Every structure is written in structure tokens, then in C-alpha cells.
A and B are shown apart, each in its own frame.
Chain A
Amino acid sequence: MEKRVVITGLGVVAPNGVGIPEFTEAIKSGKSGIRFFQELQDLNFSCCIGGIPDISETLKSAYFTPLQLRNFNSSGILYGCIAGMDAWKDAGFTIDASSELDFDSGTIFGTGTSGVDKFREAIYQLDAKNVKRLGSTVVVQTMASGISAYLGGILGLGNQVTTNSSACTTGTEAILMGYERIKAGNAKRMLVGSCSDNGPYIWGGFDAMRVMTYKHNDSPEKGSRPMSATASGFVPGSGAGAMVLESLESAEERGATIYAEILGGAVNSGGQRNGGTLTAPNPVAVQHCITSAIENSGINADEIDAINGHLTATSKDALEIENWATALGRKGPDFPYVNSLKSMVGHCLAAAGSIESVAVILQLKEGFLFPNINCEDVDPTILAIIDEEKIPKKLINSPLNIIAKASFGFGDVNGCVIFKKYNH
């Protein structure tokens, strides 16, 4: 029999808050995590603002041993381990280096690229003909699966331990992959999530593509403007989101706190057809992904209370709203509430889907909708499709039952998850 899948633990490392209490407070109050970085300006970036989580040396040493931190230079793995370990503890497990191997628990923890700063260090050494000087730390910090390898060892996971990668869909896809594994009965618990490095070496390619905003270097907190008429490109972010997925049976047996339930979801690709390209989505496929997710979850489109969009603050935001309206068959006053966390944290790339899903689950658990900041001037193209009151600009406290979360990524790949408040 197919298992029901619930969420029993959360962890987050976001530009506007590290740890669940700080992050919850930040998203409720509409706190921006976007800052100006002199380093970007010195490197001649057009966009010199971004989102980097604030991690002190004291916090680092609470999660890593001095040996682990020796020659450690992978911000994505740092964020992913903190978020992953937090989620694991939040689910009621202890972290113990000599714990017994658990064949029923695994991890699918995604990333785009791993340890880009570490890789840069290594290339300088190699080009200076010092290959031996790389030591033992380069491979594990730069292999794509570095993050799942670190977490697998720290937590003693004996089920599947792997990393997925599908650009900005990565985090959402990881959740669905873990969900399917538990649903099929192949694992009892899966730690799922994703992480993304910070800084110029990960963001530079996007700056060169002119997809990041260059208009807000003097007003960083105003820079990330999803759904705004004056949106002028995304603001790059970084961090990690993590959650423990568990079969309902296992969660009940342990008496674990249940945050929410995953009803279902879908991933697909637009195949770079029908207007889809390496960088733009095929609208037919986006709509198909959303309708498949709804069908797969056994709900009706009109049961969706709110949407957590991909909505990056580029010219594609209006197209996304149109795709949601078409897929759900709901528009104007009938459209669900919609918000985008990117207004506060920027586009956290591979980490976006997981950080944003953590926000969705907090909204369901506590009954609120976080505000869209920087959206005082909603794009008129969007207002031709949906009513303005559907785009909350202030915190709304209200019980919610079902939220749809979608992410879309380069390569024309899509993911949509349906989360539901857990009511037994």
C-alpha cells in the first residue's frame, strides 16, 4: 500500500534568517536579506547586491569539528549541513558520530555546483604545477554529491544518499524524489533539501547574461521586486533549506511533531519546444506540470488556498501568473493568494525551491501568508489576470489548508509540490 508522507523536521539557512525561529520572524515581518557587496563592485559586476546568510565562526563551530573546518571552503556544503542537521534534530533525532547505522533513513540533497571557491583555489594550485598541494579536501568539497556525502556521514544514514541537480528546480525536485521514495515504501525517512554557494564565482555567469538587476546597487533592499512593474531582473541569493520527510506510520510511532503533509506533485520538462529554450520555460509544459501535480494529489484546483511562486522578478513573472491562471482555471477574484519569497531573499538558485518550501510549510503550520515586499507597483499585465488583493503586501494571519509550490529552472525543467496542513 502507498504510504502517506508527512514533514516532521525543518531547517533553514537563508539570507534573512538562519534557523527556523529567526527565519519565521523575518518572513512574517517582510525583512529583506539583500545587501550591497563591495567585492562585486570591485570585480566590475553590474549587479553588486545579493543575499548571503550570516554565519558566525561560533555558529560554524557548533556544527563542525575543527578537523572538518580545516581547509574548508565550500559555502554550499556549510549551509546545507547546518540546515540538514537542524532539520534532523527538529524531527527529534540526535546527532552522534557513533550512532548505529539506520538503513531506513536516507537523504536526497541537491545543489547546482559544489564548492566553487574551493575549486578556484584548486585551479590556482594546479596551474602553478602544485597538484600535490591540493591535499585531501578538494574532491569531497567540489564533487556535486559533496553535500549528501557530508550529511550521510554526520547523521549515519544507511538508505539512499544522493544529490540531485536541476538548476533552480533542484530543491523542489529533491522534495518530490524523497516523497516518492517513502510513498513507495523504500525508505521510512528522507532528509531532503538543497543548497547553493554564495559569491561572485557562482553569480558571475548570470551577471554576464544580464538577467540580474543593475538598478538597485544604491537601494539593495528594494532590488528584488517580483510581480512589480519596475522589476528589472533577479537578485542573486544563497543558502539552504532542509526538511525531514517521513511516512505517517513512522511519524506516529515516534510521536513526532507533524508540520504538514505532502499530497503529491509532479516534475516534467518542456523539452525546449513551444517557446521553451535553455533559459525560458515552455508554457504548455509549465501548465502540464501544475495540472499533473493537482491530479496526482487527488484534489481540485479550487481547493488551493495559496501559491508560492517561482516569480524571480524578471519579465517572465507575468507569464508565470498566466500559466497558473490557465492551469488552475482561476482568475480575477477567484485566483488563490500568491507570494514570492524572492522579494526578501533574492533568487537562491539551487537552494530556492527548498528554502521557499520551508516558508510554505511554516505558513501552513502557523496559519499566515508572508507579505510580498517591493510590490507596491504591481505589473499591470499581472493585474489584467488576477485581482490585486490576491498579492498580499502585508502579513495576513489566516488558517490555510493547501498551498501549491512550484519552481522552474534552466534547461526548461519544472517541479510542483502540493502541501497540505496536517489534520490527521
Chain B
Amino acid sequence: MEKEALITALKKIVKPYIQDEEAFENLSENTDFIKDLKINSANLVDVILDVEDTFDIIVDNESMEKMLTVKAALEIITTKLSEK
């Protein structure tokens, strides 16, 4: 999947959880889920479950810990997709 398409899919996933509309509008690779989008840290696990469902992948514990930014999420999703 192209990066742009991945970002679009990811944006759709995080939308229900974000609490900063402006940061969401300007979402880029460097966006941080908690610091920028103000996602409640407890909801991060829900974001990851939605990522798993959308891409039909399993995100292991180690990857979960790293998945704090759009960039990290894209890398993890791309890797997991290539392993399929």
C-alpha cells in the first residue's frame, strides 16, 4: 500500500479518539498520538486494535510500545503487511 493511502486509512482509525482537531487536520508523519492529537493514553490500545482489524495484522507487544507516532505506526503496519 502507498504511504498516502496508509496515512488516509490511519487518519480514519484515529479520528474517534483525537481531542485536538487542528493537529488532526494537519496530521503528518511527525504527529505524536498523545502529545499532538491528545489521545487519552488508555485509548491507545483501542487504536491498535482498530489498526489490527483494518489491516488484518497482529501487532505484538514490542511493536505496541513503539506505536506512539504516525511515523512509527506506518513503519509497523508496512512491516507487518510485508510479512503476511
Contacts and interface: CB of A to CB of B under 8 A. Distances in A.
Contacts of A67: 16-17, 43
Given A66-B16, A67-B16, A70-B16, A137 B49 contact: no
Interface string B40-52: 0011111001000
Interface residues of B, number: 8
A133 B45 CA distance: 9
SS of A interface (majority): loop
A227 B46 CA distance: 51
A423 interface: no
Interface string A152-176: 0000000000000000000000000
A424 interface: no
A70 B14 CA distance: 12
Interface residues of A, number: 9
Interface in A65-119: 66-67, 70-71
A44 interface: no
Interface string A117-134: 000000000000000110
Interface of B: 16-17, 42-46, 49
17 contacts: A66-B16, A67-B17, A67-B43, A70-B16, A70-B46, A71-B46, A132-B45, A132-B49, A133-B49, A135-B46, A135-B49, A136-B42, A136-B43, A136-B44, A136-B45, A136-B46, A137-B46
Interface of A: 66-67, 70-71, 132-133, 135-137
Given A67-B43, A70-B16, 6 more contacts: A70-B46, A132-B45, A132-B49, A136-B44, A136-B46, A137-B46
